[in-house]
C-alpha cells in the first residue's frame, strides 16, 4: 500500500458479514461487506463493520481477523426484523454510532451499504463531518418498477435515496446499468459516481473434479445438471428456470436426462414451513410435470457451495432485475458456464457467447433453447466455462474490488494523490488509542442514550 492506511467504518444495518446466507434477507450484501472488509483489512486498513444486533447472544464486538471487527449496534429488538421494517430503528442506530465515533478516534471515512445505512452515514456526516461513500446494492425506484405493489419498503425510501445521491461524497455504482439508473432515475452527478463491481473469492470458488462433486451430492454422471442458487424470493425468477427445464425436449437417444438443483432458502430444511417460496416453486414444478426432476436442497453454508457449482453442467440465474448478482461470478470461478438474464449486473458480468449466454427474463422458451444447446454440445459448454474462469480472474476478484474502493474512499476525503511516509506511524498510534469506551457505548441500553 503506497498511501497511509485508513480507518474505515463500514455500515451495513441488516446485512451482517457473520450471517448465514440464502434466506430472504441474507445474500449478496452480506458477502460484499464480508469480503470487502476482509480484503481492506488485509491491505492494512483498520475496518469496523457496524451492523444491527439481531440476536441477544451476539458478542458486542467480534474480531474477524486482525484489523477487522464487527460491532453489534442495538437498534430495535435484538431479534430478526424484516428489512422492510427497520427504518424506524435507524435514528437509534445513528445515535449509537455517533457515541461510538466520539469514544473511538474519528473514522476517516464511512462506507454505508443500502439506503438505511446511508441515512445513518448522512447523519454522521452532518454531525461529525465524516466523508461518506454509499453503495446502494438495490434502488427503491428500480425495485418499484419491477415489484409494484409487492414492494414493502416505506415511502420515505425514495426521498432518502435521492438525498444520499445528492449529498454523499461518492456513490458506488455496481455495474453500468446501476450507474444509468442513478443518473436517469435519481438525477445523480456523474462526477461523484464511481463504478466498482462485486467480486468473487478465488480461494473459495475454483474448478474441481465434477465426478467427485456429483458423488458427494448424490447426482449421477449421465445427468445434465442445471444449478439455480440464491435467495428464495420471487424476483429471482426461479419459476422461470423450472418452466424452462420443463420445456426442454428430451434427446432422441434418451441420454443426459435433466436434473435441476435449487439451492437456497431460509433453512437447510427445504420445506414450505421454513421457506414458503419453496412451497410455491414445488407447485410450479408439479404443474410443469417435472416435480421428480427438481431437487430443492434448502440453504447451504459457504463450504458446501463449491461442490454444487462444480457438479453442475450449467448455472442459471434469470431474475427480473439484478443490481449486481454475485452467484454468476461464483459459477464462472468454478469453470461452469452461466445462462443469465440480460439485465443489470448479469449483463455486465456474463459475456454473451463467451462465458455463457444472456436471455430475456420471463422467457422460459429462450432459456430452454440455450439449455438444450449446452446439453447437446459439451465441448461448447467447457469452452464457455474456461472463458469464465479467465474473465473473473482478470476482472472480478475481491482484492481488486477492495483496492478500487480504497481509492474511492481517498477521493471522498479529497485525497486524490497517494501519500507515503511518516503518516503510517500516526495510524498505528490511532489504532492503539482505540479504547474500552467503545464497548461501553455498544453495551448501553437504548433508553440511556442521547
Ligand atoms: N448463498 C449462500 N447459501 C445459499 C444461497 C446463497 O451462501 O444457500 C450466497 C451465494 O453464494 C451468494 C449470495 O448468497 O454469494 C447471493 O448473492 P447475489 O449477489 O447473487 O444475490 P443477492 O442476495 O444480492 O440478491
Please tell me what DSSP assigns to residue 192.
G
CATH number for 210-395 (one of 3.30.230.10, 3.30.110.30, 3.30.70.20, 3.40.50.2000): it is 3.40.50.2000
Q: Report which ligand 1 atom has the smallest distance to the Cα of 298.
A: 8
Q: Are 60 and 86 in contact (CB under 8 A)?
A: no
- If you measure from the C-alpha of residue 250 to the centroid of ligand 1, how many angstroms do you get, rounded to a whole number? 31
230 lines ligand 1 (CB under 6 A): yes
Atom 22 in ligand 1: residue holding the nearest Cα: 28
46-52 and 7-11 beta bridge pairing: parallel
> Which atom of ligand 1 lies at the shortest distance from residue 302's CA?
7
pLDDT of residue 266: 92
389: Cβ–Cβ under 8 A, 6 or more apart, which residues? Answer: 207, 332, 333, 335
**Is the distance from the beta carbon of residue 263 to the nearest atom of ligand 1 less than 6 Å?**
yes
Distance CA 159, CA 155 (A): 8
Mean pLDDT computed over every residue of the chain? 92
**Burial (CB count within 10 angstroms: exposed 0-12, middle 13-18, buried 19+), residue 450:** exposed
Question: What CA–CA distances, in Å, run from 325 to 28, 88, 192?
Answer: 7, 28, 23
- Ligand 1 pocket check for 300: Cβ under 6 Å: yes
pLDDT of 421 over the 90 cut? no
Q: Is residue 119 classed as helix, strand or coil in its secondary structure?
A: helix
Distance set, CA 3 to CA 214, 250, 410, 427 (Å) = 47, 59, 9, 11
Q: How confident is the model at residue 442 (pLDDT cuts 50, 70, 90)?
A: confident
Tens of pLDDT, residue by residue over 101-111, are 988 767 999 99
Pocket test for ligand 1, best of 20, 27, 174 (most atoms within 8 A of CB): 27
Has residue 3 got a pLDDT over 70? yes
Give CA–CA dist 196/388, Å, rounded: 19
Nearest residue (CA) to ligand 1, atom 4:
22
Residue environment code for 384-405, b if the CB has 16+ CB neighbours within 10 A, otherwise e:
bbebbbebbeeebbbbbbbeeb
Q: How far is the CA of 223 from the centre of ligand 1 (A)?
A: 25
Ligand 1 pocket, residue 28 CB under 6 Å: yes
Which pLDDT value is given to residue 439? Answer: 67
Ligand 1 atom, smallest distance to 31 CA: 15
Q: How confident is the model at residue 152 (pLDDT cuts 50, 70, 90)?
A: confident
* Model pLDDT, residue 25: 79
- The CB of 21 under 6 Å from ligand 1? The reply is yes
pLDDT, average across residues 8-24: 90
Residue 419 binned pLDDT confidence (cut-offs 50, 70, 90): very low
Residue pair 88/135 in contact by the 8 Å Cβ criterion = no
CA distance 141 to 119: 17
Q: Where in the chain is the domain with CATH 3.40.50.2000?
A: 7-199+398-444, 210-395
The pLDDT score that the predictor gives to residue 105 is: 65
What is the atom index within ligand 1 of the atom nearest the CA of 29? Answer: 24
d(CA 84, CA 79): 14
Across the range 202-211, mean pLDDT stands at: 98
What mean pLDDT comes out for the span 168-196? 97
Q: How far apart are CA 326 and CA 303, in angstroms?
A: 16
Confidence of residue 448 (pLDDT cuts 50, 70, 90): very low
Residue 91: all three cell numbers together: 435514528
Question: How much of the chain exceeds pLDDT 90, in percent?
Answer: 87
**Is the separation of the CB atoms in 121 and 168 below 8 Å?**
yes
**pTM confidence score:** 0.91
In the reported structure, the alpha carbon of residue 449 is separated from the centroid of ligand 1 by a whole-number distance in angstroms of 36
- In this predicted structure, the answer to whether residue 250 has a pLDDT above a threshold of 70 is yes
* DSSP helix/strand/coil, 366: helix
Which pLDDT score, from 0 to 100, does residue 106 have?
Answer: 79
Q: How far apart, in whole angstroms, are the C-alpha atoms of residue 69 and residue 104?
A: 13
Question: Can you give the pLDDT at residue 436?
Answer: 58
83-142 pLDDT tens trace: 999 999 999 999 999 999 988 767 999 999 999 999 999 999 999 999 999 999 999 999
Q: How far is the CA of 70 from the centre of ligand 1 (A)?
A: 20
Length of the chain measured in residues: 450
Q: What is the CATH number of domain 7-199+398-444?
A: 3.40.50.2000
Amino acid at each position: 500500500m503506497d498511501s497511509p492506511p485508513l480507518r474505515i467504518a463500514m455500515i451495513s444495518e441488516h446485512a451482517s458479514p457473520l450471517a448465514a446466507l440464502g434466506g430472504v434477507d441474507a445474500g449478496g450484501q452480506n458477502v460484499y461487506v464480508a469480503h470487502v472488509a476482509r480484503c481492506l483489512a488485509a491491505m492494512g486498513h483498520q475496518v469496523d463493520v457496524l451492523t444491527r444486533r439481531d440476536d441477544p447472544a451476539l458478542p458486542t464486538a467480534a474480531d474477524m481477523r486482525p484489523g477487522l471487527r464487527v460491532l453489534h449496534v442495538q437498534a430495535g429488538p435484538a431479534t430478526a426484523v424484516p428489512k422492510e421494517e427497520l427504518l424506524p430503528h435507524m435514528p437509534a442506530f445513528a445515535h449509537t454510532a455517533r457515541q461510538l465515533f466520539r469514544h473511538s478516534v474519528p473514522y476517516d471515512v464511512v462506507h454505508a451499504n443500502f439506503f438505511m445505512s446511508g441515512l445513518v452515514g448522512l447523519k454522521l456526516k452532518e454531525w461529525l463531518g465524516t466523508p461518506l461513500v454509499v453503495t446502494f446494492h438495490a434502488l427503491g425506484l428500480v425495485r418499484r418498477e419491477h415489484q409494484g405493489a409487492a414492494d414493502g419498503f416505506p415511502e420515505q425510501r425514495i426521498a432518502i435515496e435521492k438525498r444520499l445521491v445528492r449529498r454523499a461524497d461518492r456513490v458506488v455504482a455496481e455495474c453500468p446499468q446501476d450507474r444509468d439508473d442513478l443518473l436517469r432515475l435519481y438525477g445523480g452527478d456523474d462526477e461523484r459516481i464511481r463504478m466498482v463491481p462485486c467480486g468473487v473469492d478465488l480461494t473459495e470458488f475454483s474448478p474441481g473434479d465434477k465426478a467427485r462433486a456429483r458423488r458427494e451430492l448424490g447426482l449421477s454422471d449421465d445427468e445434465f445438471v442445471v444449478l439455480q442458487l440464491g435467495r428464495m424470493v420471487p424476483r429471482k425468477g426461479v419459476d422461470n428456470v423450472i418452466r424452462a427445464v420443463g420445456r426442454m425436449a428430451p434427446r432422441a437417444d434418451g441420454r443426459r436426462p435433466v436434473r435441476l438443483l435449487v439451492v437456497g432458502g431460509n433453512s437447510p430444511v427445504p420445506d414450505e414451513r421454513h421457506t414458503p417460496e419453496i412451497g410455491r416453486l414445488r407447485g410450479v414444478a408439479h404443474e410443469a410435470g417435472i416435480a421428480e426432476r427438481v431437487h430443492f436442497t434448502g440453504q447451504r453454508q459457504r463450504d458446501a457451495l463449491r461442490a454444487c457449482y462444480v457438479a453442475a453442467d450449467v448455472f442459471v440465474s434469470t431474475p427480473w432485475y439484478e443490481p449486481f448478482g454475485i452467484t454468476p461470478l461464483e459459477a464462472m470461478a468454478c469453470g461452469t458456464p452461466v445462462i443469465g438474464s440480460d439485465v443489470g449486473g448479469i449483463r455486465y458480468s456474463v459475456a454473451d457467447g463467451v462465458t455463457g449466454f444472456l436471455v430475456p427474463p420471463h422467457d422460459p422458451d429462450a432459456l430452454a433453447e440455450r439449455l438444450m444447446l449446452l446439453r447437446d454440445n459439451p465441448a461448447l459448454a467447457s469452452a464457455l466455462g474456461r472463458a469464465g474462469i479467465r474473465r473473473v480472474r482478470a476482472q472480478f476478484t475481491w482484492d481488486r474490488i477492495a483496492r478500487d474502493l480504497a481509492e474511492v474512499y481517498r477521493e471522498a476525503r479529497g485525497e486524490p494523490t497517494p501519500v507515503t511516509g511518516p503518516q503510517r506511524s500516526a495510524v498505528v498510534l490511532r489504532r492503539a488509542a482505540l479504547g474500552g469506551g467503545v464497548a461501553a457505548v455498544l453495551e448501553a441500553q437504548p433508553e440511556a442514550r442521547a
